[in-house]
Amino acid sequence: MIDSNTFKSKALKRIKIAEGHLKKVETMLSSGAYCLEVIHQSRAVQAALKKVDEIVLHGHLHSCILKDVHGPKSKNEKLISEVVELFGKQN
């Protein structure tokens, strides 16, 4: 099984990347950069945050779901419902 610290360090690295892109967006807006360049940079922020979500979900599936999947069936349904509900809230 993959260590939860591995997921944590990967997610934190991606957060730093998103933070750098976001600061760049702020600088670009302040300096009056070309709109499409600002949007391009903003999309980089969103992509980095999406990757954080993927890493955290992957960690959750490995550290929580796999560990608990052999428990009572009612708990399995709850675990599945939590993940499905999370993705239902997107957009």
Q: Check which CATH number belongs to the domain holding 8 and give it.
A: 1.20.58.1000
Going by the DSSP 8-state scheme, the letter that residue 9 receives in this structure is H
Q: b/e per residue, 77-86, with b = 16+ CB within 10 A?
A: eebeeeeeee
Which amino acid does the sequence have at 19?
A: E
Tell me how many domains the chain contains: 1
**pLDDT tens-digit profile of 31-67?**
999 999 999 999 999 999 999 999 998 888 888 777 7
Query: pTM of the prediction?
Result: 0.77
Sequence-distant (6+) residues with CB within 8 A of 61 are 83
Domain region containing 52? 4-88
**Side-chain half-sphere exposure of 37, counting CA atoms within 13 A:** 9
Q: Residue 78: is its pLDDT beyond 60?
A: yes
* Unique residue bearing structure tokens 């600088």: 27
